[in-house]
C-alpha cells in the first residue's frame, strides 16, 4: 500500500512539473507572438530592396523562368513593385509591374471574401447548411449532404480525393455540370477528417453567393471587391487575359525549360470555367491592394469592407495538412493556408497554378508584410524561396540561399520521377475489339475509334481527343495531344466474345468516376 502511495505521489509530482513547463512555454509563445518587431529605417529598407532585387533576378535566370513580377506591402502601403524578364520566351518585351498574369488558385480567397461579406450582412452564417440555400447540392453520402456546412465548402476536408473531376472543365463541361458531378465522387476519407485539395467546391461557394445576391459571381467580384479596391486592371474572363495589351504568356515547365503556350491554345479556357477557384487575371500592383485589405483586417482606404472578425475567421485553421511536401505545421483555413514554421513568424499564404503560371500571395501579420509574386511558368518553387530571402534580409537573419536549395530539390525530384515499369508485354487484340460507344454518369457518352496504330477516345462537349497507345494487351497508355504526354493508363475488360465491355481511365477515376460501360450497338 505504501509503495502504491509513493508511486501516486511521484505521478502527481511529475504531472505538476509537466503543467508548470507547459505554462512557461505558453507564456513564452504568447510573449513572442506579441513582441513588436520594428521595421528597418528607410535607408536600410532601400538597401534591403536593392539586395533582394538583384537576388530575385539572378534566381529567375537560374530557374529558367521567362518572366515574373513582385510587389511588397508594408502595413497599408506598397513599398515595392517591379517586373523581371520577359512576357514570352524568345522575345524581348519586358515584364513590368502592370503586366497581367493569371493568378490561379489565389483566386479562391476572393470567393471566400464574397461569402464573408454575405455573413457580415446577415444573409447567411458560416455554420448554416448548404442545402438550406442550394437544395440540389449533393455529396456521395446522404448524411454528409445533410451535414455539409458553408465553411466546410472552403476548408478542404470534404472526404473526396484531391482534384477529383477537375478534367471536366478541360473537355468542355460547365460549372453547373461540375457541381452536379460531386454526388458521384466516392469519398476516400471520413468527412472533416483529412485534408484533400478540391476546386469543384469553390464553384459551390460561388453558387451560394449567386443564390443569395441574385447576381453572378463575376458581378459580385467586380462590385464588392475589385471596384472598391481600385483593382482596375484585374479581370476574370478569357478575353480579359488573351486580349490584354500587357500580358505574360503561359509557359509549361518541361524538365526545367520554358515551353510557351499560344494564346489560342485549345485548353486555355478551362481556368475560367473554374473562375471562382482559379480564374482571376491581375498584376502585382492590383494584388498589393488586395494584400493591404487582408493585412489590415478588412480595412482599405479607411473603409471596412469585411469585418475584422470574418477576416480572422478566414485566416484561422480549419484542417490540419499532413503532407511531407509542406514543411512546418500547416493548416488549411478558408482559401488560405497558415504555416507555423520556426524561426519565422507565422505565414498566411496561398499558391496558384494554372497550365502556365505559378503565383504566391503571402501575408506575415506579425511584421505587417505582404507579398505578391507572379511568374509565367508553371511548377516552380522560386516564389517561396524569394519570400524567405526577403524576410531574412528584413529581420537581419543569417542569409541562406533558399533559391539554390529549392532548385536543387526540384532537379532531384525530376531525376527521380517515376519511370514506366519494364515488364513483359503482350500485343493487344485487334483494335476493333475495343472500339465503340461508351457511357459514364459524369462524363456522358464517349466514343473509341481507331486512328493509325492507336485508339482515340473522343469525350465531352468539346469532343476532346484522348489518345490510347498500346501498352500491354488490354492496357493502353493515355496521352492528350497538345497538353499531356503521359496521363496514366486505360484498362479494358473483355467479355467472353472477345470484345471490350468496359474500360477504366485512370486519369478520370479519382473517386471512382472513371469507369465507362460499352453501349450495345442496336
Regions of the chain where pLDDT drops below 50: 1-34, 522
- What is residue 12's predicted lDDT score, i.e. its pLDDT? 46
Q: What is the pTM of this model?
A: 0.92
| Close Cβ partners of 424 (under 8 Å, ≥ 6 residues apart) | none
- What is residue 7's predicted lDDT score, i.e. its pLDDT? 39
- What is residue 11's predicted lDDT score, i.e. its pLDDT? 41
- What is residue 9's predicted lDDT score, i.e. its pLDDT? 36
Q: What is the DSSP string of 137-177?
A: ---SSHHHHHH-BTGGGGTT-SSSPTTTTGGGTTTT--HHH
Q: How many CB atoms lie within 10 A of CB 72?
A: 25
- Which domains are delineated in the chain? 42-415 (3.40.710.10), 431-518 (2.40.128.600)
HEC profile of 372-419: EEEECCCCCCHHHHHHHHHHHHHHCCCCCCHHHHHHHHHHHHHHCCCC
Sign of CA dihedral 393, 394, 395, 396: positive
* Span 221-272, pLDDT tens digits: 999 999 999 999 999 999 999 999 999 999 998 877 899 999 999 999 999 9
Tell me the chain's radius of gyration from C-alpha atoms.
Answer: 26
- What is residue 20's predicted lDDT score, i.e. its pLDDT? 43
Residue 113's nearest CA partner among 220, 204, 216, 195 is 220
Grid cell for residue 228: 472598391
Please, what is the average pLDDT of the chain?
Answer: 92
Q: How far apart are CA 375 and CA 36, in angstroms?
A: 33
Q: How far apart are CA 405 and CA 408, in angstroms?
A: 5
108-120 vs 200-213: helix crossing angle, rounded to 10 = 30
The DSSP code for 96 is: -
* Span 371-414, pLDDT tens digits: 999 999 999 999 999 999 999 999 999 999 999 999 999 888 77
Q: How far apart are CA 163 and CA 227, in angstroms?
A: 31
| Close Cβ partners of 218 (under 8 Å, ≥ 6 residues apart) | 236, 237, 275
Strand bridging mode 475-479 / 464-472:
antiparallel
Using a 10 angstrom Cβ sphere, with 0-12 exposed, 13-18 middle and 19 or more buried, the burial of residue 197 is middle
End-to-end Cα spacing for the chain: 87
Strand bridging mode 358-364 / 257-261:
unpaired
Q: Give percent of the chain above pLDDT 90.
A: 85
Sign of CA dihedral 432, 434, 439, 442: negative
Amino acid at each position: 500500500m505504501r509503495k502504491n502511495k509513493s508511486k501516486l505521489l511521484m505521478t502527481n509530482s511529475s504531472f505538476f512539473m509537466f503543467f508548470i513547463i507547459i505554462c512557461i512555454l505558453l507564456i513564452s509563445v504568447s510573449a513572442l507572438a506579441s513582441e513588436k518587431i520594428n521595421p528597418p529605417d528607410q535607408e536600410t529598407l532601400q538597401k534591403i530592396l536593392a539586395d533582394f532585387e538583384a537576388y530575385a533576378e539572378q534566381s529567375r535566370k537560374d530557374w529558367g523562368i521567362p518572366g515574373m513580377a513582385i510587389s511588397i506591402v508594408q502595413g497599408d502601403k506598397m513599398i515595392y513593385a517591379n517586373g523581371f524578364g520577359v512576357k514570352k520566351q524568345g522575345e524581348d518585351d519586358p515584364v513590368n509591374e502592370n503586366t497581367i498574369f493569371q493568378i490561379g488558385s489565389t483566386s479562391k480567397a476572393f470567393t471566400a471574401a464574397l461569402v464573408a461579406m454575405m455573413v457580415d450582412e446577415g444573409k447567411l452564417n458560416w455554420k448554416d447548411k448548404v442545402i438550406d440555400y442550394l437544395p440540389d447540392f449533393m455529396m456521395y453520402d446522404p448524411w454528409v449532404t445533410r451535414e455539409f456546412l458553408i465553411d466546410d465548402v472552403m476548408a478542404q476536408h470534404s472526404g473526396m480525393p484531391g482534384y477529383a473531376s477537375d478534367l471536366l472543365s478541360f473537355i468542355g463541361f460547365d460549372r453547373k455540370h461540375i457541381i452536379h458531378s460531386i454526388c458521384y465522387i466516392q469519398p476516400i476519407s471520413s468527412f472533416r477528417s483529412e485534408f484533400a485539395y478540391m476546386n469543384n467546391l469553390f464553384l459551390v461557394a460561388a453558387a451560394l453567393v449567386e443564390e443569395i445576391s441574385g447576381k453572378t459571381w463575376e458581378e459580385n467580384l467586380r462590385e464588392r471587391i475589385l471596384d472598391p479596391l481600385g483593382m482596375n486592371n484585374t479581370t476574370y474572363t478569357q478575353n480579359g487575359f488573351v486580349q490584354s495589351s500587357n500580358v505574360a504568356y503561359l509557359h509549361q515547365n518541361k524538365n526545367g525549360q520554358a515551353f510557351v503556350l499560344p494564346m489560342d491554345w485549345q485548353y486555355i479556357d478551362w481556368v475560367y470555367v473554374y473562375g471562382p477557384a482559379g480564374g482571376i487575371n491581375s498584376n502585382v500592383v492590383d494584388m498589393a491592394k488586395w494584400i493591404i485589405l487582408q493585412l489590415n483586417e478588412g480595412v482599405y482606404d479607411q473603409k471596412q469592407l469585411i469585418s475584422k472578425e470574418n477576416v480572422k475567421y478566414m485566416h484561422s485553421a480549419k484542417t490540419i495538412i499532413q503532407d511531407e511536401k509542406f514543411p512546418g505545421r500547416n493548416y488549411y483555413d478558408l482559401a488560405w493556408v497558415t504555416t507555423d514554421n520556426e524561426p519565422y513568424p507565422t505565414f498566411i499564404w496561398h499558391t496558384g497554378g494554372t497550365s502556365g503560371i505559378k503565383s504566391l500571395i503571402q501575408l506575415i501579420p506579425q511584421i505587417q508584410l505582404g507579398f505578391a509574386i507572379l511568374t509565367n511558368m508553371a511548377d516552380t518553387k522560386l516564389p517561396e524561396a524569394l519570400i524567405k530571402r526577403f524576410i531574412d534580409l528584413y529581420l537581419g537573419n543569417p542569409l541562406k540561399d533558399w533559391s539554390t536549395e529549392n532548385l536543387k530539390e526540384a532537379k532531384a525530384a525530376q531525376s527521380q520521377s517515376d519511370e514506366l515499369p519494364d515488364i513483359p508485354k503482350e500485343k493487344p487484340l485487334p483494335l476493333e475489339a475495343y472500339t465503340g460507344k461508351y457511357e459514364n454518369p459524369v462524363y456522358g457518352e464517349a466514343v473509341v475509334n481507331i486512328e493509325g496504330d492507336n485508339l482515340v477516345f473522343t469525350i465531352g462537349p468539346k469532343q476532346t481527343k484522348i489518345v490510347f497507345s498500346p501498352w500491354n494487351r488490354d492496357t493502353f497508355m493515355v496521352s492528350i495531344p497538345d497538353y499531356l504526354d503521359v496521363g496514366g493508363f486505360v484498362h479494358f475488360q473483355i467479355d467472353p466474345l472477345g470484345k471490350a465491355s468496359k474500360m477504366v481511365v485512370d486519369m478520370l477515376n479519382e473517386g471512382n468516376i472513371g469507369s465507362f460501360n460499352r453501349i450495345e450497338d442496336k
